[in-house]
């Protein structure tokens, strides 16, 4: 059998500058790792400084919050302001269950001291996101040049007011090769993530790329309290399956449970734990020809991840948003990569009307002939066994990259990007809330106060694959990619991670 070659396959020449997409190939089907893998993995870090020549920079005003919308707090820079103009994107956020003022965030950070310049950045806040303290980067295993795809989760109480904090990422080498899932944990509130606390969860190699991990912890009073779960996509030359691993030792040792998907191509898995300790993993099934989402599934385990159900259908007939496969067109008048992967959450609140509800959301085209992207939300009230017909909402332009969170009162929050118009690759961050278990959602609120967001760097081809949000009893804390800051000694804007506190 011919060995799968991980090598530079595709170079797009745009406006005289080259954007390198770095997939291994499969001659028989034309399938490449980058048809499925995370965008940060598949964009050459060397292209970080390239601008989008088709969309001149707009320097937006930087405000201190909406004067007409007092519910939106000041937009705050999350990453290091002294990053020499390097981009940050694909943020994730987690909240300490004991105190909502303690937030941890991560992101793809191209100012990292790695061989390629790309690493998983660590950002910490102890005042509810009013200010952020960049804490460096996750340590990588020897021989790896880059890391991306952050995921974070707080674990059990260690005593003394501290909880173990888990941070998952994928480390790899440009090509891309050797995609390997790893987890590092912190026992000092996120001040440090020592190399001694780094554990490899799943090794990659020349013919296997482990991609897009997310992490969840059982903090319930179930028999499996303290278990830690990671799900990800195992990509080979002819398939992409959803894998799960668990740790019963607080992240110090890991066991790979195995494959929980059954289709040939899958991606975008999200693990989460219900109030009774049931573990769920939601994921997207991809069309093998277009490598675009056409269905959503979920699996569940009631024995702490030892065994898993067969995939349960959440929704089929989805017209997924396009990816970079073989030059497929993107959203109208844009070049940046998009997807229709799920965001998923379970209500663990004390609200008897909603506790135990499961929610999954995604973005997709309105129908098979549409080129307008909307948000879809489905819910389950019986532990994921059956799912409602998706509730759909959107606007005249595209909505994409949603993220869900539930507050301790059972309110469901969703944040997402929304295109400002269809003539340029510009967008804003929006929020909606449901107070009735996803039957309806309230009015839309714009969160970013710096004008429009644009793709800016990477020749306009990459902004991120997701963003994050968490909900406290009184506020919602989103983190997102923003482009309001100027690069040093330049009139060009750069990608940064910003956060805000929203009071619905």
pLDDT tens for 46-83 read: 888 888 887 877 776 666 555 445 489 999 999 999 99
Rounded distance, CA 22 to CA 34, Å? 7
* Domain chopping of the chain, boundaries: 10-499
Stated as kind and residue range, the H or E segment containing 42 is helix 39-42
State residue 328's pLDDT score. 64
Q: 152 and 146 in contact (C-beta within 8 Å)?
A: no
| CA quadruple 18, 23, 27, 28: dihedral sign | negative
Q: 411 and 348 in contact (C-beta within 8 Å)?
A: no
Q: Quickly list DSSP for 128-191.
A: TTSS-EEEEE----TT--EEEEEEEEEEEEEETTEEEEEEEEEEEETTTEEEEEEEEEESSTTS
Contacts for 1 with CB less than 8 Å, ≥ 6 apart: none
Contacts for 369 with CB less than 8 Å, ≥ 6 apart: none
Rounded distance, CA 205 to CA 207, Å? 6
Q: Is 258 helix (H, G, I), strand (E, B) or coil?
A: strand
Rounded distance, CA 72 to CA 343, Å? 23
Residue % of the chain over a pLDDT of 90? 79
DSSP state of 390: P
State residue 266's pLDDT score. 98
Rounded distance, CA 70 to CA 79, Å? 25
State residue 68's pLDDT score. 45
Backbone φ, ψ for residue 159 (5° rounding) = 95, 155
State residue 20's pLDDT score. 39
State residue 395's pLDDT score. 84
Encoding tokens for residue 186?
A: 């912190």
Q: Which residues pair with 343 in a beta bridge?
A: 361
Q: Quickly list DSSP for 360-386.
A: EEEEEESSTT---EEEEEEEESSTTSS
State residue 51's pLDDT score. 86
DSSP state of 227: -
- The number of angstroms, rounded, from the C-alpha of 403 to the middle of its chain's C-alpha atoms is 8
State residue 5's pLDDT score. 31
Backbone φ, ψ for residue 196 (5° rounding) = -65, -20
Rounded distance, CA 307 to CA 309, Å? 7
pLDDT tens digits for range 444-491? 999 998 889 999 999 889 999 999 999 999 999 999 999 999 999 998
State residue 64's pLDDT score. 55
CATH of domain 10-499: 2.120.10.10
- With CA atoms as reference, report the closest residue to 73 among 472, 494, 426: 472
Stated as kind and residue range, the H or E segment containing 272 is strand 266-273
Rounded distance, CA 460 to CA 334, Å? 8
pLDDT by residue for the chain (504 residues), tens only, comes to: 333 333 322 222 223 333 333 433 333 346 788 889 999 999 888 888 888 887 877 776 666 555 445 489 999 999 999 999 999 999 999 999 999 999 999 999 999 999 999 999 999 999 999 999 999 999 999 999 999 999 999 999 998 889 999 999 999 999 899 999 999 999 999 999 999 999 999 999 999 999 999 999 999 999 999 999 999 999 999 999 999 999 999 999 999 999 999 999 999 999 999 999 999 999 999 999 889 999 999 999 999 999 999 999 999 999 999 876 655 668 888 889 999 999 999 999 999 999 999 999 999 999 999 999 999 999 999 999 999 999 999 988 999 999 999 999 999 999 999 998 888 889 999 999 999 999 999 989 999 988 899 999 998 899 999 999 999 999 999 999 999 999 999 989 999 999 999 999
């Amino acid at each position: 059998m011919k060995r799968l070659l991980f090598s530079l396959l595709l170079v797009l020449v745009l406006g005289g500058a080259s954007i390198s997409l770095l997939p291994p190939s499969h001659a028989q089907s034309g399938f490449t790792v980058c048809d499925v893998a995370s965008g940060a993995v598949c964009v050459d870090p060397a292209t970080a400084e390239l601008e989008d020549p088709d969309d001149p920079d707009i320097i937006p005003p930087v405000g201190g919050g909406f004067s007409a919308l007092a519910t939106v707090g000041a937009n705050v820079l999350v990453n290091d302001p002294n990053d020499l103009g390097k981009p940050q994107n694909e943020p994730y956020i987690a909240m300490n269950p004991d105190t909502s003022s303690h937030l941890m965030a991560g992101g793809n950070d191209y100012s990292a001291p790695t061989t390629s310049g790309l690493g998983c950045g660590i950002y910490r806040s102890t005042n509810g996101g009013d200010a952020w303290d960049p804490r460096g980067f996750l340590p990588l295993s020897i021989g790896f040049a880059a890391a991306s795809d952050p995921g974070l989760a707080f674990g059990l109480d260690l005593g003394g007011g501290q909880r173990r904090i888990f941070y998952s990422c994928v480390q790899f080498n440009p090509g891309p090769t050797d995609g390997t899932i790893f987890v590092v944990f912190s026992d000092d509130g996120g001040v440090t993530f020592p190399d001694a606390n780094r554990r490899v969860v799943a090794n990659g190699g020349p013919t296997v790329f482990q991609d897009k991990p997310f992490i969840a912890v059982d903090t319930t009073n179930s028999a499996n309290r303290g278990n830690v779960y990671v799900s990800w996509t195992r990509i080979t030359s002819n398939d992409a399956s959803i894998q799960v691993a668990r740790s019963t030792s607080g992240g110090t040792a890991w066991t790979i449970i195995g494959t929980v998907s059954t289709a040939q191509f899958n991606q975008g898995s999200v693990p989460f734990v219900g109030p009774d300790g049931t573990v769920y993993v939601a994921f997207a099934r991809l069309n093998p020809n277009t490598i675009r989402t056409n269905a959503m599934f979920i699996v569940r385990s009631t024995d702490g991840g030892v065994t898993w159900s067969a995939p349960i259908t959440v929704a089929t007939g989805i017209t997924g948003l396009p990816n970079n496969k073989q030059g497929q067109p993107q959203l109208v008048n844009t070049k940046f990569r998009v997807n229709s992967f799920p965001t998923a959450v379970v209500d663990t609140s004390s609200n008897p009307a909603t506790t135990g509800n499961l929610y999954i959301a995604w973005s997709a085209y309105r129908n098979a002939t549409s080129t307008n992207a909307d948000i879809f939300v489905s819910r389950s009230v019986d532990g994921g066994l059956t799912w409602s017909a998706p509730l759909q909402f959107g606007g005249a332009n595209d909505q994409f990259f949603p993220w869900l969170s539930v507050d301790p009162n059972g309110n469901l929050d969703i944040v997402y990007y929304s295109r400002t118009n269809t003539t340029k690759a510009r967008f804003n961050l929006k929020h909606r809330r449901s107070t009735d278990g996803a039957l309806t959602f309230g009015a839309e609120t714009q969160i970013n106060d710096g004008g429009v967001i644009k793709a800016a760097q990477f020749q306009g081809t990459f902004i991120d694959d997701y963003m994050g949000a968490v909900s406290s009893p009184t506020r919602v804390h989103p983190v997102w990619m923003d482009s309001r800051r100027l690069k040093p000694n330049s009139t060009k804007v750069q990608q940064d991670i910003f956060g805000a506190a929203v009071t619905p």
